[in-house]
Structure 1
Amino acid sequence: MGSERVALLYLVLIAMQQVATATIRQSREIIITDAVRRIQNDGYNVERHTVTTKDGYVLTLHRIPQVDPERGSVLRRPLVFLLSGLYASSDVWLLNGREDSLAYLLWRAGYDVWLGNNRGNIYCRKNLWHNATEREFWDFSWHEMGVYDLPAQVDYVLRTTGQRAMHFVGISQGGTVFLVMNSMLPHYNAVFKSATLLAPVAYVSNTKSGLAKIIGPVLGTRNYVSKMLEGVEMFSTNKFFKKFLSMTCLENEKPMVCISRLWPVAGYDTRFLNKTLLPDLMANFPAGGSVKQLMHYFQGYVSTRFRQYDYGPERNWLHYQQLEPPEYVLENVSTPVTVFFSENDYIVAPADIWRLLTRLPNVEAVYKVPWKRWNHFDFICGLGVREYIFDNIVLSMNRYEQRRR
């Protein structure tokens, strides 16, 4: 009789656990696809700002300000600007939850946190002269993000806050955009106290990406196909479709179906990916962009160089007054730079990281993550990302601010 009671109690506990798990899953805000709602839901103050670039794109920024609890006024605190990667948005800095997301860690450390966005993602689908249904709207790569989007956002943040400098954190394409801006417009180096680049993409000739190896030779050269794909949107930003993807991940006990959607960009070894974040990740990624962004990387794979977009000899002459596109002068990037990378990164190979580092004149620190199977997506959503990377970023920025005092 005692054993039957134990068995019955065991079954009741299992049932209670399943009910609790189902309740948590139903109550999780996995379908939040707006950064303002997510930040509010996580219990932080938030502001939404817009800025227009010189070529007419209307960009949205999200701010997590330091607010005086008694007066309700915004406090003047050190600035940090975060920029996401390819086909992502400001949401990626929030997906790890209210305790472990980098944006919130920096806020709790006393920083005025700004989350940037680039043209074409879900927050930046307006232009003064073109609709998002027109080819002209999508005729851009990350080069335009570096010479138009990031400068416009940086200028706006400094103008709004009345400050002269900020810290920068960028992942993947966010690092690319930073390098483009500071090489093309070197006076912006004085604006940044420090720059932390997580798996920055510059040179890609040694990438393990199957997409680059299979499609790169086609889309990375000038031909009929690549010319036709200029001015084409890469991913739909339909929120209903994203909610559907997130719910399919939620219902799937073994989330390999969800993980397989990331394989083309993240790689097949996803053992460190925090799979509890998959529903949120699917609800917010990809966030939109142009095919030309990817083709510009493929051009780098084919040419083995980090240079401006290749339009072919005739159009290159019109754009650059030379037959080949000019390389980015990375020696102009004088901001103190810290780089994090992984030897197993599916996108950015260590050899390409070291090639980049040899050209940067002011490398302050280089961190190779200690896990051999750490991959590209793990820099945002990997297990251990807070303990090894995010906490190190906060400590490094705090040390800089203390030295300045």
Structure 2
Amino acid sequence: MGVIISGCNIIESLLLLLLCGLCCWQLESQLRGSSFMVAAFINVRQTRDIIITDAVKRIRRDGYPVEKHHVLTKDGYALTLHRIPQYNTSSTTTTATGACGVYSRRPVVFLLAGIYASSDAWLLNGRENSLPYLLWRQGYDIWLGNNRGNIYTRRNVWYNATEREFWNFSWHEMSIYDMPAMVDYIMQCTGEAKMHFVGISQGGTVFLVLNSMLPQYNGVFKTAHLLAPVAYVSNTKGGLAKIFGPILGTRNYVAKVLEGMEMVSTNKFVKKFLSSLCFEHERPMVCVSRLWPAVGYDTQHLNKTLLPDIMANFPVGGSFKQIMHYFQGYVSTKFRQYDYGPEKNWLLYNQLEPPDYNLELVTAPVTIFYAENDYIVSVEDIWRLLMRLRNLQAVYKIPRRRWNHFDFICGLGVREFIFDKIIRAANYYEYTYS
């Protein structure tokens, strides 16, 4: 799993043992023959390409242009956006002037990854099959978003990443602060008034909350493609929710302590070391077992050749409060704002329980992709979401019975089942309405 919890108090230590016991046991057993493992590690590093943990370096290595942009949210978080721009201009190409200069006028696609992930998640399938590259080759201006707390967004105007106040956020704050900041910046930079959106897992959560809380943003999105969006989670198969949900999804001392803490490590050395163990010296299923909270145990369709890159680039930072917000949804069976307890709820919401997100206000054209075997998002919970959306364009069930949550971005056949459909829908919009 590769999860390291910051801090050294008793509560964190206990959670570290519970969450990472399997991973640590495996790692310890592998390192008992230390001389052999050191030799194997050195051999791996000498005979394999160096694992890349930086989106700019990866995009350049894959042969595409790249820019890095910085955005400041209203509550002081400095976010990083990665852009794959369309530089080519000619006498037949319409140009547009935005805050970032003069570019060939191209439609924009904004992509947002899931929980504890970053821009890199979209790039793991390589130069030929990654969705951003496929869209770029179709002539789109590509923007990859990063929410607060991940490896690219660990700065705040008022707080350091070592302070509790920095980590006191969930995906609600990402929705009402991060998303508007990134969307507004992209429109200002490009001069475009609308864009296409693609979000996976928590990226879908953030999109839904944004458009329900700030419905004026519905008009910004030409199309929205949500891959296994997480809204309702009461029927999830996820082991973490079943084990920790009843504890961390309710108001108690442990939950209050963890609200201001980082959940996962962003230490690149640790991630590169774990990724090196995923090469030929370790069985793929042993490596997969470290990712079980995200991928589940059934990984028949996961592209296991990508495991070293997955281990090096996931997870990449976030708060405990993010996953605790989902745990609250598991316990309450509702999709609603964060529960701070009756007293604080009354101060914040003027009611004893947190209000539900009004999904009927999400009027942007939405396409949903889901799978029967999804470890995180069950079919029952997807259908609860579908019943509340006003502008559904299409719903695709992945035609693979054992397709799982991580397969939506790194699965065998993901281009055929998902990426090509997204491209066709975006192209249809551009050819029809432009």
C-alpha distance in structure 2 between counterparts of 1:262 and 1:23, whole Å? 24
Residue number in structure 2 paired with 1:48: 68
C-alpha distance in structure 2 between counterparts of 1:23 and 1:75, whole Å? 46
1:28 Cα offset (Å): 5.2
Amino acid at match of 2:242: K
Which 10-residue stretch deviates more, 324-333 or 258-267?
258-267
Residues matched between the structures, number: 384
1:27 Cα offset (Å): 6.4
What's the CA shift string for 1:166-224, capped at 9, x where partnerless?
00000000000000100000000010001000000000001011111111000000011
Residue number in structure 2 paired with 1:115: 144
Residues 1:77 and 2:106 aligned together: yes
C-alpha distance in structure 1 between counterparts of 2:116 and 2:110, whole Å? 18
Residue number in structure 2 paired with 1:325: 354
Q: Report matched runs for 1:293-372 at 5 Å.
A: 293-372=322-401
1:388 Cα offset (Å): 1.2
Of 58, 80, 100 in structure 2, the residue corresponding to residue 60 of structure 1 is 80
Which secondary structure does the structure 2 equivalent of 1:100 belong to? coil
Question: Given that residues 47 and 65 in structure 1 are in contact (C-alpha distance below 8 angstroms), is that contact kept between their aligned partners in structure 2?
Answer: yes
Residue number in structure 1 paired with 2:160: 131
Residue number in structure 1 paired with 2:204: 175
Scaled by the length of structure 1, what TM-score is found? 0.92
Residue number in structure 1 paired with 2:252: 223
Residue number in structure 1 paired with 2:185: 156
Question: Given that residues 339 and 367 in structure 1 are in contact (C-alpha distance below 8 angstroms), is that contact kept between their aligned partners in structure 2?
Answer: yes
1:264 Cα offset (Å): 1.9
What's the CA shift string for 1:232-283, capped at 9, x where partnerless?
0000101111111111112434212210011122110001100000000111
Question: Given that residues 89 and 104 in structure 2 are in contact (C-alpha distance below 8 angstroms), is that contact kept between their aligned partners in structure 1?
Answer: no
C-alpha distance in structure 2 between counterparts of 1:26 and 1:359, whole Å? 53
What's the CA shift string for 1:334-385, capped at 9, x where partnerless?
0000000001000000010010010000000000000000000000000000
Amino acid at match of 1:316: N
Amino acid at match of 2:112: L
Residue number in structure 1 paired with 2:277: 248
Residues 1:270 and 2:299 aligned together: yes
Question: Given that residues 118 and 149 in structure 1 are in contact (C-alpha distance below 8 angstroms), is that contact kept between their aligned partners in structure 2?
Answer: yes
C-alpha distance in structure 2 between counterparts of 1:195 and 1:176, whole Å? 12
Residues 1:38 and 2:58 aligned together: yes
C-alpha distance in structure 2 between counterparts of 1:306 and 1:252, whole Å? 43
What's the CA shift string for 1:9-46, capped at 9, x where partnerless?
xxxxxxxxxxxxx9998565452100000000000000
C-alpha distance in structure 1 between counterparts of 2:263 and 2:161, whole Å? 12
Question: Given that residues 25 and 250 in structure 1 are in contact (C-alpha distance below 8 angstroms), is that contact kept between their aligned partners in structure 2?
Answer: no
1:127 Cα offset (Å): 0.1
Residue number in structure 2 paired with 1:4: none
Amino acid at match of 1:41: R
Which secondary structure does the structure 1 equivalent of 2:369 belong to? strand
Residue number in structure 1 paired with 2:3: none
- With over 3 angstroms needed to count, the CA separation of the structure-2 counterparts of 1:24 and 1:398, relative to structure 1, is farther
Residue number in structure 1 paired with 2:431: 402
1:74 Cα offset (Å): 3.1
Amino acid at match of 1:372: R
Residue number in structure 2 paired with 1:16: none
Question: Given that residues 89 and 103 in structure 2 are in contact (C-alpha distance below 8 angstroms), is that contact kept between their aligned partners in structure 1?
Answer: no
C-alpha distance in structure 1 between counterparts of 2:333 and 2:259, whole Å? 21
C-alpha distance in structure 1 between counterparts of 2:205 and 2:402, whole Å? 23
Residue number in structure 1 paired with 2:225: 196
Amino acid at match of 2:167: W
C-alpha distance in structure 2 between counterparts of 1:400 and 1:27, whole Å? 46
- With over 3 angstroms needed to count, the CA separation of the structure-2 counterparts of 1:167 and 1:375, relative to structure 1, is same
- Structure 1: gaps spanning 5 or more residues: 1-21
Which secondary structure does the structure 1 equivalent of 2:279 belong to? helix
Scaled by the length of structure 2, what TM-score is found? 0.86
Amino acid at match of 2:232: Y
Which secondary structure does the structure 1 equivalent of 2:372 belong to? coil
C-alpha distance in structure 1 between counterparts of 2:412 and 2:46, whole Å? 23
Larger radius of gyration: 1
C-alpha distance in structure 1 between counterparts of 2:268 and 2:283, whole Å? 24
Question: Given that residues 237 and 288 in structure 1 are in contact (C-alpha distance below 8 angstroms), is that contact kept between their aligned partners in structure 2?
Answer: yes
Residue number in structure 2 paired with 1:19: none
What's the CA shift string for 1:37-84, capped at 9, x where partnerless?
000000000000000000000000000001117799632100000000
C-alpha distance in structure 2 between counterparts of 1:27 and 1:400, whole Å? 46
Question: Given that residues 336 and 357 in structure 2 are in contact (C-alpha distance below 8 angstroms), is that contact kept between their aligned partners in structure 1?
Answer: yes
C-alpha distance in structure 1 between counterparts of 2:76 and 2:89, whole Å? 38
C-alpha distance in structure 2 between counterparts of 1:198 and 1:368, whole Å? 10
Question: Given that residues 189 and 335 in structure 1 are in contact (C-alpha distance below 8 angstroms), is that contact kept between their aligned partners in structure 2?
Answer: yes
Amino acid at match of 2:58: R
- With over 3 angstroms needed to count, the CA separation of the structure-2 counterparts of 1:397 and 1:29, relative to structure 1, is farther
| Cα RMSD, aligned residues only | 1.7
- Structure 2: gaps spanning 5 or more residues: 1-41, 92-100
Amino acid at match of 1:127: N
Amino acid at match of 1:142: W
C-alpha distance in structure 2 between counterparts of 1:163 and 1:29, whole Å? 39
